[in-house]
Amino acid sequence: MSGAPAPDHYSYTHYEKASTAATFDDRRFGGPIGGIVAEEQARVLANFIGRIQDRRILDVGTGTGRAARQLAAGGAMVTAIDASDAMLAVARQKAASESLRVNFLRGDAHALDFRDRSFDVVVSLRVLMHTPQWQRCVAELCRVAERLVIVDYPSTAGFARLESLARRVLHRFGRAAEPYHVFSDREIAAAFAVGGFTVRSMHRQFVLPIALHKAIGSPRFTRAIESALDRAGLLRRFGSPVSIVAERCAYS
Protein backbone atom coordinates (compact mmCIF):
# COMPACT_ATOMS: atom_id res chain seq x y z
CA MET A 1 0.00 0.00 0.00
CA SER A 2 1.05 3.59 -0.51
CA GLY A 3 2.15 5.89 2.28
CA ALA A 4 0.04 7.90 4.68
CA PRO A 5 -2.76 10.01 3.15
CA ALA A 6 -1.97 13.66 2.52
CA PRO A 7 -3.09 15.81 5.49
CA ASP A 8 -4.52 18.42 3.10
CA HIS A 9 -7.07 15.97 1.67
CA TYR A 10 -10.58 17.41 1.98
CA SER A 11 -11.68 14.53 4.23
CA TYR A 12 -9.37 16.00 6.88
CA THR A 13 -9.54 19.73 6.22
CA HIS A 14 -13.29 20.01 5.62
CA TYR A 15 -14.41 17.96 8.62
CA GLU A 16 -11.93 19.61 10.97
CA LYS A 17 -13.77 22.91 10.61
CA ALA A 18 -15.87 23.87 13.62
CA SER A 19 -18.57 25.17 11.28
CA THR A 20 -18.81 21.77 9.55
CA ALA A 21 -19.09 19.94 12.86
CA ALA A 22 -21.70 22.36 14.22
CA THR A 23 -24.02 21.95 11.22
CA PHE A 24 -23.30 18.33 10.27
CA ASP A 25 -26.32 16.71 11.93
CA ASP A 26 -28.75 19.30 10.58
CA ARG A 27 -27.42 18.95 7.03
CA ARG A 28 -27.46 15.15 7.10
CA PHE A 29 -30.38 14.33 9.36
CA GLY A 30 -32.38 17.55 9.64
CA GLY A 31 -35.86 18.03 8.23
CA PRO A 32 -38.50 15.41 7.46
CA ILE A 33 -36.38 13.47 4.96
CA GLY A 34 -33.32 13.61 7.15
CA GLY A 35 -35.47 12.04 9.85
CA ILE A 36 -36.28 9.15 7.53
CA VAL A 37 -32.58 8.70 6.77
CA ALA A 38 -31.72 8.66 10.48
CA GLU A 39 -34.50 6.21 11.37
CA GLU A 40 -33.54 3.85 8.56
CA GLN A 41 -29.86 3.97 9.48
CA ALA A 42 -30.66 3.14 13.11
CA ARG A 43 -32.99 0.29 12.13
CA VAL A 44 -30.53 -1.28 9.69
CA LEU A 45 -27.65 -1.00 12.15
CA ALA A 46 -29.65 -2.71 14.89
CA ASN A 47 -30.81 -5.48 12.53
CA PHE A 48 -27.28 -6.13 11.27
CA ILE A 49 -25.75 -6.37 14.74
CA GLY A 50 -28.49 -8.30 16.49
CA ARG A 51 -27.71 -8.41 20.20
CA ILE A 52 -26.15 -5.11 21.23
CA GLN A 53 -26.03 -5.48 25.01
CA ASP A 54 -22.46 -5.92 26.30
CA ARG A 55 -20.92 -6.14 22.81
CA ARG A 56 -17.52 -4.50 22.27
CA ILE A 57 -18.12 -2.13 19.36
CA LEU A 58 -15.83 0.29 17.53
CA ASP A 59 -17.31 3.16 15.52
CA VAL A 60 -14.74 4.38 12.98
CA GLY A 61 -15.25 7.90 11.64
CA THR A 62 -17.90 8.54 14.26
CA GLY A 63 -18.42 12.20 13.30
CA THR A 64 -20.90 13.65 15.77
CA GLY A 65 -21.37 10.22 17.32
CA ARG A 66 -24.91 9.36 16.18
CA ALA A 67 -24.26 5.63 15.68
CA ALA A 68 -22.01 5.43 18.74
CA ARG A 69 -24.71 6.95 20.93
CA GLN A 70 -27.35 4.58 19.57
CA LEU A 71 -25.16 1.59 20.36
CA ALA A 72 -24.23 2.88 23.81
CA ALA A 73 -27.93 3.41 24.58
CA GLY A 74 -28.44 -0.26 23.67
CA GLY A 75 -25.92 -1.34 26.28
CA ALA A 76 -22.81 -1.82 24.13
CA MET A 77 -19.29 -0.96 25.27
CA VAL A 78 -18.50 1.60 22.59
CA THR A 79 -15.22 3.12 21.46
CA ALA A 80 -15.57 5.77 18.77
CA ILE A 81 -12.80 7.45 16.80
CA ASP A 82 -12.58 10.33 14.38
CA ALA A 83 -9.75 12.29 12.77
CA SER A 84 -11.52 15.58 13.52
CA ASP A 85 -11.23 17.18 16.95
CA ALA A 86 -14.13 19.46 16.05
CA MET A 87 -16.41 16.49 15.33
CA LEU A 88 -15.30 14.74 18.51
CA ALA A 89 -16.07 17.83 20.59
CA VAL A 90 -19.67 17.81 19.33
CA ALA A 91 -19.93 14.04 19.81
CA ARG A 92 -18.73 14.23 23.41
CA GLN A 93 -21.18 17.04 24.17
CA LYS A 94 -24.11 15.11 22.73
CA ALA A 95 -23.21 11.91 24.57
CA ALA A 96 -22.87 13.80 27.85
CA SER A 97 -26.24 15.48 27.37
CA GLU A 98 -27.81 12.03 26.93
CA SER A 99 -25.88 10.52 29.89
CA LEU A 100 -24.26 7.96 27.60
CA ARG A 101 -20.81 6.47 28.11
CA VAL A 102 -18.73 6.37 24.92
CA ASN A 103 -14.93 6.32 24.77
CA PHE A 104 -14.27 8.98 22.13
CA LEU A 105 -10.71 9.04 20.77
CA ARG A 106 -8.85 10.81 17.99
CA GLY A 107 -7.79 8.33 15.32
CA ASP A 108 -7.46 7.65 11.62
CA ALA A 109 -9.36 4.95 9.72
CA HIS A 110 -6.23 4.21 7.67
CA ALA A 111 -4.22 3.12 10.73
CA LEU A 112 -6.31 2.00 13.70
CA ASP A 113 -4.40 2.00 16.97
CA PHE A 114 -5.91 -1.24 18.27
CA ARG A 115 -4.79 -4.86 18.43
CA ASP A 116 -6.08 -7.46 15.98
CA ARG A 117 -9.65 -8.62 16.71
CA SER A 118 -10.09 -6.11 19.55
CA PHE A 119 -13.82 -5.60 18.95
CA ASP A 120 -16.81 -7.88 18.38
CA VAL A 121 -18.24 -5.45 15.83
CA VAL A 122 -16.72 -2.57 13.86
CA VAL A 123 -18.99 0.07 12.31
CA SER A 124 -17.97 2.71 9.80
CA LEU A 125 -20.70 4.82 8.23
CA ARG A 126 -20.25 7.47 5.52
CA VAL A 127 -16.48 7.01 5.70
CA LEU A 128 -15.23 4.87 2.81
CA MET A 129 -16.73 7.29 0.28
CA HIS A 130 -14.47 10.08 1.58
CA THR A 131 -11.24 8.28 2.43
CA PRO A 132 -8.16 8.79 0.24
CA GLN A 133 -7.23 5.08 0.48
CA TRP A 134 -10.47 3.16 1.00
CA GLN A 135 -9.02 -0.35 0.56
CA ARG A 136 -6.47 0.35 3.28
CA CYS A 137 -9.35 1.39 5.55
CA VAL A 138 -11.29 -1.81 4.80
CA ALA A 139 -8.20 -3.85 5.67
CA GLU A 140 -7.94 -2.05 9.01
CA LEU A 141 -11.64 -2.51 9.79
CA CYS A 142 -11.28 -6.23 9.13
CA ARG A 143 -8.10 -6.50 11.15
CA VAL A 144 -9.56 -5.12 14.38
CA ALA A 145 -12.96 -6.87 14.08
CA GLU A 146 -13.49 -10.24 15.71
CA ARG A 147 -16.71 -11.05 13.88
CA LEU A 148 -18.67 -8.32 12.07
CA VAL A 149 -17.90 -5.19 10.03
CA ILE A 150 -20.68 -2.83 8.95
CA VAL A 151 -20.13 -0.11 6.34
CA ASP A 152 -22.16 1.86 3.85
CA TYR A 153 -21.31 3.35 0.46
CA PRO A 154 -22.87 5.11 -2.55
CA SER A 155 -23.40 2.72 -5.44
CA THR A 156 -22.01 3.01 -8.97
CA ALA A 157 -25.37 1.68 -10.17
CA GLY A 158 -27.38 4.61 -8.79
CA PHE A 159 -27.71 8.35 -9.24
CA ALA A 160 -24.81 8.83 -6.80
CA ARG A 161 -22.43 8.10 -9.66
CA LEU A 162 -23.62 11.19 -11.54
CA GLU A 163 -23.43 13.36 -8.43
CA SER A 164 -19.92 12.08 -7.70
CA LEU A 165 -18.76 12.98 -11.21
CA ALA A 166 -20.28 16.45 -10.91
CA ARG A 167 -18.58 17.05 -7.59
CA ARG A 168 -15.22 15.95 -8.98
CA VAL A 169 -15.53 18.48 -11.79
CA LEU A 170 -16.51 21.24 -9.37
CA HIS A 171 -13.65 20.33 -7.03
CA ARG A 172 -11.14 20.44 -9.88
CA PHE A 173 -12.24 23.99 -10.68
CA GLY A 174 -11.82 25.10 -7.07
CA ARG A 175 -15.41 24.88 -5.93
CA ALA A 176 -16.23 23.78 -2.39
CA ALA A 177 -17.45 20.25 -3.16
CA GLU A 178 -16.67 16.86 -1.63
CA PRO A 179 -15.59 14.62 -4.56
CA TYR A 180 -16.54 11.35 -2.94
CA HIS A 181 -16.03 7.81 -4.30
CA VAL A 182 -18.77 5.50 -5.52
CA PHE A 183 -18.39 1.71 -5.39
CA SER A 184 -19.67 -1.41 -7.05
CA ASP A 185 -20.88 -4.27 -4.87
CA ARG A 186 -18.24 -6.47 -6.47
CA GLU A 187 -15.25 -4.31 -5.54
CA ILE A 188 -16.50 -3.89 -1.97
CA ALA A 189 -16.97 -7.66 -1.61
CA ALA A 190 -13.49 -8.24 -3.07
CA ALA A 191 -11.86 -5.86 -0.59
CA PHE A 192 -13.55 -7.60 2.33
CA ALA A 193 -12.57 -11.02 0.96
CA VAL A 194 -8.93 -9.94 1.12
CA GLY A 195 -9.47 -9.20 4.81
CA GLY A 196 -11.02 -12.62 5.40
CA PHE A 197 -14.64 -11.46 5.47
CA THR A 198 -17.67 -12.29 3.37
CA VAL A 199 -20.69 -10.02 2.81
CA ARG A 200 -23.56 -11.58 4.76
CA SER A 201 -26.38 -9.11 4.14
CA MET A 202 -27.08 -5.94 2.18
CA HIS A 203 -29.61 -3.11 2.40
CA ARG A 204 -30.33 -0.44 -0.20
CA GLN A 205 -32.14 2.74 0.83
CA PHE A 206 -33.29 4.93 -2.07
CA VAL A 207 -33.56 4.79 -5.85
CA LEU A 208 -33.98 8.53 -6.33
CA PRO A 209 -31.27 10.89 -5.00
CA ILE A 210 -31.60 11.91 -1.36
CA ALA A 211 -31.03 15.50 -2.48
CA LEU A 212 -34.18 15.29 -4.62
CA HIS A 213 -36.22 13.91 -1.74
CA LYS A 214 -34.95 16.70 0.51
CA ALA A 215 -35.76 19.33 -2.11
CA ILE A 216 -39.35 18.05 -2.30
CA GLY A 217 -39.48 17.68 1.47
CA SER A 218 -42.48 15.34 1.62
CA PRO A 219 -42.16 12.09 3.60
CA ARG A 220 -45.42 10.92 2.01
CA PHE A 221 -43.98 11.37 -1.49
CA THR A 222 -40.68 9.75 -0.53
CA ARG A 223 -42.31 6.68 0.97
CA ALA A 224 -44.83 6.32 -1.86
CA ILE A 225 -42.43 6.69 -4.78
CA GLU A 226 -39.66 4.62 -3.23
CA SER A 227 -42.15 1.86 -2.39
CA ALA A 228 -43.38 1.88 -5.99
CA LEU A 229 -39.82 1.74 -7.34
CA ASP A 230 -39.06 -1.13 -4.98
CA ARG A 231 -42.09 -3.10 -6.20
CA ALA A 232 -40.89 -2.52 -9.75
CA GLY A 233 -37.57 -4.15 -8.87
CA LEU A 234 -35.52 -0.96 -9.24
CA LEU A 235 -34.37 -0.67 -5.64
CA ARG A 236 -32.57 -4.00 -5.85
CA ARG A 237 -30.69 -2.86 -8.96
CA PHE A 238 -30.15 0.85 -8.41
CA GLY A 239 -30.66 1.54 -4.69
CA SER A 240 -28.13 3.74 -2.89
CA PRO A 241 -26.63 4.20 -0.37
CA VAL A 242 -25.86 0.54 0.24
CA SER A 243 -25.29 -0.77 3.75
CA ILE A 244 -23.62 -4.14 4.25
CA VAL A 245 -22.63 -6.38 7.12
CA ALA A 246 -19.58 -8.57 6.48
CA GLU A 247 -18.70 -11.55 8.65
CA ARG A 248 -15.34 -13.13 9.33
CA CYS A 249 -15.20 -16.28 7.23
CA ALA A 250 -14.43 -18.52 10.20
CA TYR A 251 -17.95 -17.81 11.46
CA SER A 252 -19.76 -18.57 8.18
Q: 96 and 124 in contact (C-beta within 8 Å)? A: no
The pLDDT value recorded for residue 40 is: 95
Quote the CA–CA distance of 252 and 234 in Å, as a whole number: 29
Collapsed DSSP state (helix, strand, coil) of residue 80: strand
SS (H, E, C) 11-62: HHHCCCCHHHHHHHHHHHHCHHHHHHHHHHHHHHHHHHHCCCCCCEEEEECC
Collapsed DSSP state (helix, strand, coil) of residue 68: helix
Nearest by Cα to 185 from 243, 230, 110, 231: 243
The pLDDT value recorded for residue 163 is: 73
Average pLDDT score over residue span 171-195? 83
The pLDDT value recorded for residue 14 is: 83
The residue ranking higher by pLDDT, 2 or 83, is 83
**Domains in the chain and their CATH numbers?**
10-153+181-205+238-251 (3.40.50.150)
Please, which residues have CB within 8 angstroms of residue 18's CB and are 6 or more apart in sequence? 86
Average pLDDT score over residue span 51-72? 97
Average pLDDT score over residue span 103-126? 97
Nearest by Cα to 185 from 146, 238, 136: 238
Q: Determine the straight-line distance between the first and last CA of the chain, rounded to whole angstroms.
A: 28
* Number of CB atoms found within 10 A of residue 206's CB: 25
Quote the CA–CA distance of 154 and 175 in Å, as a whole number: 21
The pLDDT value recorded for residue 96 is: 98
The residue ranking higher by pLDDT, 176 or 232, is 232
The pLDDT value recorded for residue 252 is: 45
Quote the CA–CA distance of 200 and 71 in Å, as a whole number: 20
Q: Is the dihedral of CA 161, 206, 32, 71 positive or negative?
A: negative
The pLDDT value recorded for residue 176 is: 56
Determine the angle formed by the axes of helices 85-97 and 18-29, rounding to 10 degrees: 60
Average pLDDT score over the chain: 91
The pLDDT value recorded for residue 160 is: 72
Confidence check: pLDDT of 172 > 70 = no
Q: Strand locations in the chain, DSSP E? A: 56-60, 77-82, 102-106, 119-124, 145-153, 197-206, 240-248
Quote the CA–CA distance of 146 and 200 in Å, as a whole number: 15
Q: 95 and 71 in contact (C-beta within 8 Å)? A: no
The pLDDT value recorded for residue 166 is: 62
Average pLDDT score over residue span 24-53? 94
% of the chain at pLDDT higher than 90: 79
